Amino acid sequence: MWGRTSIHLMTVRAKEILGARYGAGPKYSYFVGGSTGGRQGMIEAQYYPEDYDGIVSKSPGMDYSHVMMSVLWTAQPIAENPDGVLGAVDRKVLNDAVLAACSGRDGVRGDPTLNDPRDCGFQLERLHFDKDADLVEKRLAPKIDATRTDLSRFEERGGKLIMTQGWSDDYQAATLPIEYYHRVLRDNGGPDARSSLREVQDFYRLFMVPGGGHVTGGPGPNSFDALSAVRNWVERGAAPRDMVATKYVRDRPENGVSMTRPLCPYPQVARHDGSGETSDASNFRRADDWGDFAADMARAKR
DSSP state of 166: E
pLDDT tier, 1 (very low <50, low <70, confident <90, very high otherwise): low
Tell which wins on pLDDT, 33 or 132. Answer: 33
Cβ contacts of residue 29 below 8 Å, gap of 6+?
Answer: 11, 15, 51, 52, 53, 54
The per-residue pLDDT for 18 is 96
Residue 30 near residue 161, CB atoms below 8 Å: no
- 272-300 pLDDT, tens digit per residue, is 998 899 999 999 999 999 999 999 988 87
CA distance 40 to 36: 6
- 257-278 pLDDT, tens digit per residue, is 999 999 999 999 999 998 899 9
pLDDT tier, 5 (very low <50, low <70, confident <90, very high otherwise): very high
pLDDT tier, 90 (very low <50, low <70, confident <90, very high otherwise): confident
Tell which wins on pLDDT, 130 or 45. Answer: 45
First to last CA, the chain: 33
- 178-225 pLDDT, tens digit per residue, is 999 999 998 876 678 888 999 999 999 999 999 999 999 999 999 999
The per-residue pLDDT for 123 is 64
DSSP state of 223: B
- Between the alpha carbon of residue 113 and those of residues 52, 55, 100, 147, 220, the distances in Å are 34, 28, 11, 29, 6
DSSP state of 199: H
The per-residue pLDDT for 125 is 47
Residue extents of the structural domains in the chain: 33-300
Residues pairing with 55 in the sheet: 31, 161
Tell which wins on pLDDT, 110 or 72. Answer: 72
CA distance 247 to 238: 25
Phi and psi at residue 265, to the nearest 5°:
-70, 125
Query: β-strand 243-248 against 204-209: which pairing, if any?
Result: unpaired
DSSP of the chain, one letter per residue?
-TTTTHHHHHHHHHHHHHHHHHSS--SS-EEEEETHHHHHHHHHHHH-TTS-SEEEEES---SHHHHHHHHHHHHHHHHH-GGGS--HHHHHHHHHHHHHHHTTTTS-TT-SS-S-GGGT----PPP--GGGHHHHHHHTHHHH-------HHHHHTT-EEEEEEETT-SSS-TTHHHHHHHHHHHHHS-SSHHHHHHHHTTTEEEEEETT--SSS-SSS--B--HHHHHHHHHHH----S-EEEEEEGGG-GGG-EEEEEEE-BTTEEEEE-SSS-TT-GGGEEEEE-HHHHHHHHHHHT-
Residues pairing with 262 in the sheet: 244
DSSP state of 127: P
- 56-67 pLDDT, tens digit per residue, is 999 998 887 877
- 93-141 pLDDT, tens digit per residue, is 777 777 777 766 655 666 677 777 777 766 654 337 556 777 877 888 8
CA distance 76 to 82: 10
What count of other Cβ atoms lies within 10 Å of the Cβ of residue 57? 31
The per-residue pLDDT for 110 is 65
